[in-house]
A and B are shown apart, each in its own frame.
Chain A
Amino acid sequence: MTLPDGWVMVIGLEVHCELKTATKLFCGCPNMFGDEPNTNICPTCLGLPGSLPVLNENAVELAMRIGAALNCDILASTFHRKNYFYPDMPKDYQVSQYDEPINLNGRLDLPDGFRVGVTRAHIEEDTGKSTHVGGDGRIHGATHSLVDYNRSGVPLVEIVSEPDMRTADQARAYVTELRAILVATGASDGRMEEGSMRVDANISVRRSETDEFGTRCEIKNVNSIRSLGRAIEYEAARQVGLIEAGDRVIQQTRHWNEQQGRTITGRVKEDADDYRYFLEPDLVPLDPSPEWIASVRSELAVLPATRREAVAAATGADASATAVATVVDLELDQLVLGAVAAGADGRIALARASNEVAADAEGGRGLDVAAFTAVIAMESASEITATQAKTVLGELLADGGGDPEAIAAKHGFEAMDGSVLDSVVDKVIAANPNEWQRYKDGDAKVTGFFVGQVMKATGGKADGKAVTAALVARTKA
Chain B
Amino acid sequence: MAKRLTREEVAHVALLARLEVTDDELDMFTGQLADILEHANDVEALDVSGVEAMAHPMQLRNVFRTDVIVPALDRDEVLSQAPSAEDRRFRVPRILGEAP
Contact = CB atoms under 8 A, between A and B. Distances in A.
B66 interface: yes
Interface string B75-95: 100110000001111111111
A287 B62 contact: yes
Contacts of B55: 278-279, 281
A310 interface: no
Contacts of A147: 89-92
B99 interface: yes
A283 to B, nearest CB: 8
B1 interface: no
A58 B95 CA distance: 35
Contacts of B91: 144-147
Interface string A260-301: 000000110000111110110101111110000000000000
A21 B64 contact: no
A106 to B, nearest CB: 23
Interface of A: 21-23, 27-30, 36-43, 46, 54-60, 84-89, 127, 130-132, 139, 142-149, 220, 253, 255, 266-267, 272-276, 278-279, 281, 283-288
B48 interface: no
B15 A272 contact: yes
A274 B16 contact: yes
A38 B60 CA distance: 33
Given A145-B92, A146-B89, A146-B90, A60 B100 contact: no
Contact of B60 (A41, A43, A284): A284
A267 B98 CA distance: 6
Given A38-B78, A279-B55, A142 B65 contact: no
Determine the interface band of chain B, counting residues with CB < 8 A from chain A.
35 or more
Nearest to B64: A57
A267 B97 contact: yes
Interface in B14-47: 15-16, 18
Contacts of B87: 37, 146
A27 B70 contact: yes
B57 to A, nearest CB: 10
A28 B68 contact: yes
A57 B64 CA distance: 5
B22 to A, nearest CB: 20
Contact of B70 (A23, A130, A285): A23
A192 B99 CA distance: 20
A40 B70 CA distance: 10
Contacts of A43: 73
A344 B12 CA distance: 73
Contacts of A131: 89
Contacts of A278: 55
Contact of B95 (A21, A40, A59, A139): A139
A83 B88 CA distance: 27
B64 A40 contact: no
A278 B56 CA distance: 12
Given A38-B78, A86-B95, A288-B62, 4 more contacts: A40-B72, A54-B64, A55-B63, A87-B95
B67 A57 contact: yes
